[in-house]
Amino acid sequence: MLDNNENPKVDFFFDKANKWQEELVLMRKIALECQLNEELKWGVPCYTFKDSNVVLIHAFKEYCAFLFFKGALLKDTDGILIQQSENVQAARQIRFTSLQEIVDLKAVLKTYIYQAVEIEKAGLKVELKKTSDFPVCEEFQKKLDEMPDLQKSFFALTPGRQRAYLLHFSQPKQSKTREARVEKNIPNILDGKGLND
């Protein structure tokens, strides 16, 4: 039975799924029962409310998941939301490793989705850290001080690209590794490119 909101452009995602096919199909059904529009974004099913992204479906090797774009604003009454890493500010996942988990949580999942829709209706935004809140490792600061063109190019990047570089540069424990990362990325920054461009 084809749901009225099913988007044929998204079918391939469910058809090609090997490991989590039953789970993904049920997750799709749950999202569509919440009257969301189904779209294909970033190569995965994304469910929207009035053109705002609400939740998407991910399939990984170890689990499949609902990813809530503004999950940080949800009331996690059941304690099931997961922040993928400390650097993820807004999104939160609900992970599954079996069909039965999804079956057991169906009503709860709908509650979380409806709550996410209400957040969109209210126009709420996640308060993101500013770029200035991220530490600048001394190896990068030294280069910024030495190279005015680098400083100008770096601050001309979008805030998201700046944050990506700052996180990338500050992650290694050893100064030598941080320095190597900075050196490697100087040409990209000078070219106005982001870390993954």
Compute the mean pLDDT over every residue in the chain, rounded to the nearest whole number.
92
State what percent of residues in the chain have pLDDT above 70.
Answer: 98
pLDDT of 87 above 80: no
CB 188 within 8 A of CB 195: yes
Q: pLDDT (tens digit, 9 = 90+) per residue, 151-174?
A: 999 999 988 899 889 989 988 999
In CATH, 8-121 is 3.90.1150:
yes
Cα 38 to Cα 6: distance, rounded to the nearest angstrom: 6
pLDDT of 3 above 80: no
**CATH 3.90.1150 residue ranges in the chain?**
8-121
Q: pLDDT (tens digit, 9 = 90+) per residue, 97-146?
A: 999 999 999 999 999 999 999 999 999 998 877 777 788 999 999 999 99
